[in-house]
Amino acid sequence: MNWVPVVLGAVLGAVIGYVLAGGEPVVAPIVAVIGAVAILVTKNVQESRSKKQGIVLYDEMHLTLATRSGYTALRASMLAVALILVITVWPMFFNINILPPEIAEKLYPGLGLSFAIMTVAYLTAYTYYLKSKKVLEG
């Protein structure tokens, strides 16, 4: 497993949480886009190097495992991500406060943490399905 995209994703989650905690909600999507581009570039470099060497990186089993793991991680963490987004970011754009602003500001690091939890949930589900072979049986 290539750990560079995983580490970049974890750093991206921490930076987004830090930026939001600093009171800059407009900068967070920019950081997210820059991080996503960095992850895609590293994956493309890895794929091009392996193609030159004649190595197959992804087969049908990997694609099936990744699909099932991604769906499981999304289901497991999306409620937390959506709830934190509604509580923290929504009031800045729509002036509808669910919680007092002082309390909502303390949840900004939790937004980055929720994306990190989604990454950990994906890796956990991927490992589980890989070892159990349930994904191949249906």
pTM higher than 0.85: no
Q: What is the largest CA-CA distance in the chain?
A: 57
Instruction: Write down the domain spans for the chain.
Output: 4-137
Mind listing the pLDDT tens digit for each residue in 13-64?
A: 788 878 877 777 788 888 888 888 888 888 888 888 888 988 877 777 777 8
Among 12-16, 28-32, 78-82, 95-99, which stretch is predicted with the lowest mean pLDDT?
95-99
Q: Is the pLDDT of residue 5 over 60?
A: yes
Question: Mean of the per-residue pLDDT values for the chain?
Answer: 78
For residue 2, name the pLDDT band (cuts at 50, 70, 90): low
Question: Helix (H, G, I), strand (E, B), or coil: what is residue 108?
Answer: helix
Phi/psi zone of residue 134: left (φ > 0), alpha (ψ -120 to 50 degrees), beta? alpha
